[in-house]
Amino acid sequence: MNTPEFNSTANILLVDDDQTLCELISAYLQRDNFTVESVHSGEAALQHLSQPNTIAAMVLDIMMPGLSGLEVLQMLRQKSNLPVIMLTGRGDDIDRILGLEMGADDYLAKPCNPRELVARLRAVLRRVKPQQVIDNLQPLQLHGITLDLGMLTAEVNNASLKLTSAELNTLRLLMESAGTTLTKQTLTEQVLHRKLEVYDRSIDVHISRLRQKLAAVGVTDIIKAIRGAGYQMISAGNHK
């Protein structure tokens, strides 16, 4: 499934078994120029996404009867990089980490602030929007990786590298800054478009997934954790 280009009326799929909450969130998002389609089970979400649609992003509750949000996400990621924001119970850190490890782009604790949800949605949609103006349209190339900034695609030795929008943007920043340490604060602000929160491991998980996907195609030991500082992609001359 292809992700449509972001615009001011992006279509959002809201998946939550709490129908009253769905109505409240839908009304708020619609006032912010989103269009919203709601379903109330994981099974209904997968059925909806299997049909031709114009869904630009999904807001997915973790705790639902039947298929859980995590199960839906796992199935979705086998065939689609559709941006997903998980709704988690407040304090459910394990579920948040699991969601990120399974490929969620971001998460928000329930009960969520609708204004914060709008901000998170706009952030993930900006990451997948084909860029109209880019300072340098030439692909980034390093360590056998080719990152096309115009198409927002990545390849390793001509083989496609399937990345979520957060992983792809993390890779872009690391490649552009090879040899320089980027703080978690900088990565969070530029990748997730929000401030780094206390005990926030989102960037750590996105980088861990990125390392795993690179390792699966034979690219290892190029992203270093700099203790107390952040992360760095080593420069070409330092890769052994």
Chain mean pLDDT for the chain: 87
Give the domain extent around 161: 140-238
Angle at 142 between CA 137 and CA 100, to 5 degrees: 90
> What letter would DSSP give residue 237?
G
Calculate mean pLDDT across residues 162-184. 92
Starting from the edge strand earliest in sequence, which strands make up the sheet with 84-89, in order? 35-39, 11-15, 55-61, 84-89, 106-110
Does one domain contain both 16 and 97? yes
99 in any annotated domain: yes
CATH code of the domain in which 110 resides:
3.40.50.2300
Does one domain contain both 16 and 124? yes
pTM passes above 0.85? no
According to the model, what pLDDT value does residue 5 have?
A: 43
Angle at 19 between CA 3 and CA 6, to 5 degrees: 20
Does one domain contain both 113 and 150? no
Does one domain contain both 121 and 153? no
Tens-digit pLDDT profile for residues 51-69: 988 899 999 999 999 999 9
80 in any annotated domain: yes
CATH code of the domain in which 185 resides:
1.10.10.10
Does one domain contain both 224 and 117? no
Angle at 55 between CA 53 and CA 60, to 5 degrees: 125
Does one domain contain both 76 and 114? yes
- Asked if residue 8 has pLDDT above 60, the reply is no
**d(Cα 237, Cα 163) in Å, to the nearest integer?**
26
Does one domain contain both 117 and 156? no
Domain boundary, last residue among 128, 151, 181:
128
SS (H, E, C) 66-89: CCCHHHHHHHHCCCCCCCEEEEEE
Does one domain contain both 116 and 166? no
Tens-digit pLDDT profile for residues 13-33: 999 999 999 999 999 999 999
Number of structural domains (the chain) is 2
Main-chain dihedrals φ then ψ at residue 198, nearest 5 degrees: -60, 135
- Going from the C-alpha of 78 to that of each of 114, 164, 206, the distances in angstroms are 29, 12, 17
Does one domain contain both 186 and 109? no
* Closest C-alpha among 173, 176, 161, 143 to residue 209: 161
Domain boundary, last residue among 107, 128, 149:
128
182 in any annotated domain: yes
Predicted confidence band of residue 129 (pLDDT cuts 50, 70, 90): low
Query: Would you say how long the chain is, in residues?
Result: 240
Q: Which amino acid is at 213?
A: K
Does one domain contain both 39 and 114? yes
Does one domain contain both 61 and 84? yes
3 in any annotated domain: no
